[in-house]
Amino acid sequence: MLFQIESNKSLDENERGLQESAARHQFGVIAVHDLQETLKKKGVNLAMECRIYEVCNPRQAQKVLDADGAISTAVAMPHFCLRHGEQVHAGHHASDRDDEGIRESRNRGRGTRGGRGDSTEDARCGDQLS
């Protein structure tokens, strides 16, 4: 399921907001991938700016990794922020199995889920745009 918000803020403002929001919810941004820059180094020109943020809750990550280290790629929850022309979008792919802290922060009336127009908000992404 895709959680996506259109923002009036710049990519840098969204990035700062995501880091602040993540910290408030005991998450951290463990890596940032600038896809436009990475692809340019490989000879591909991407018209839009696109950043991918790996967000993780360290305590939850430890529990998951202690239980089964083979699923380590599921520990970092990727979020995106992209700008194409004047439009800026931020979001992430959400699972119906999001942890309790995330579920509690939903339903505050911002954003859309899956492009269907459902009113919702997510601590991992939506707070940064408020």
The whole-number pLDDT of residue 70 equals: 86
DSSP 8-state assignment for residue 63: H
Strand order in the sheet with 49-56: 28-34, 49-56, 77-84, 87-93, 2-7, 112-113
CATH of the domain at 107: 3.30.310.70
Q: Which of 49-63, 79-93, 95-109 has the lowest mean pLDDT?
A: 95-109
Domain count, the chain: 1
Tens digit of pLDDT for each residue in 2-26? 888 888 998 999 999 999 999 999 9
Query: What's the domain range around 35?
Result: 2-129
- Give dist(CA 4, CA 129) in Å, integer: 11
